[in-house]
Amino acid sequence: MYFQADTVLRMIEQLGAAYRELMRLLNDLEAEGELEKMFRQLTGLDRTTAKLLAVESLTDMLTPERRMALSELMTMEADRFAHRLDTDEILSLRHRALTLLCAIDIDEIAALRAPQAKQIFDQCAEQCTVEDTVALLRFLRTGGAYAIAEDVLFLQLSAFARPEELRILAAEGEAFYALLLAEPDEALIQGGLPREEVMQGQAALAETYRRDEA
């Protein structure tokens, strides 16, 4: 466990340095070369292959740390080359980055990267399916980011209109609150959602879902 946490922290430090170096380069060609080098160094894959393979294939191939790195490298690409990418390309990169990150179920990674996941979501929410939302909620809960997860839950409940999507999301919300109520008070407070607020959220979910079903 401690080795895992140390490995994740070192990877995050490397990614921070990589981001600063990429954004420092003003020449696009130099930045392209640097990004390709980062892909190979931090994920073991070339950039084209990493972007073409399905998330499921990448999950089988790469360690969680490397998948985290791949996710962040894709957000770096969207940031650095936003001036020449169209909106759909940027959204696609961010959505893929979010999907990769939320496929990781390691507590240490989820705890450290929960704010990053929410930030990416905010930038590509319109691309997220109900399945993506469920994966994000579980990632945030695994990382102890309970208040952030609740914000996403209610935001997406207002974003989806199809009854089957709302049923899936409401069921996930019910499971979310049930799991939180089994947590000790200290964990809930640390996650930004004290027990009283968990119960209020649970009641609000029931009311919202009843209203949407009416």
Residue ranges per domain, the chain?
1-123, 129-214
Q: What pLDDT is attached to residue 213?
A: 60
Burial of 5 (0-12, 13-18, 19+ CB in 10 A): middle
Q: What pLDDT is attached to residue 1?
A: 46
* pLDDT tens for each residue of 21-74: 999 999 999 999 999 999 999 999 999 999 899 999 999 999 999 999 999 999
The pTM for the full model equals: 0.91
Q: What pLDDT is attached to residue 86?
A: 96
Distance CA 115, CA 93 (A): 18
Q: What pLDDT is attached to residue 179?
A: 97
Q: DSSP string of 47-102?
A: HHHHHHS-HHHHHHHS-HHHHHHHHHHHHHHHHHTTTTS-HHHHHHHHHHHHHHHH
Per-residue confidence of the chain (214 residues) as pLDDT tens digits?
444 668 888 889 999 999 999 999 999 999 999 999 999 999 999 999 998 999 999 999 999 999 999 999 999 999 999 999 999 999 999 999 999 999 999 999 999 999 999 999 999 999 999 999 999 999 999 999 999 999 999 999 999 989 999 999 999 999 999 999 999 999 999 999 999 999 999 999 998 876 656 5
Q: What pLDDT is attached to residue 212?
A: 59
Distance CA 47, CA 32 (A): 10
**192: CB partners within 8 A, 6+ apart:** 145, 146, 147, 148
DSSP helix/strand/coil, 21:
helix
Q: What pLDDT is attached to residue 8?
A: 84
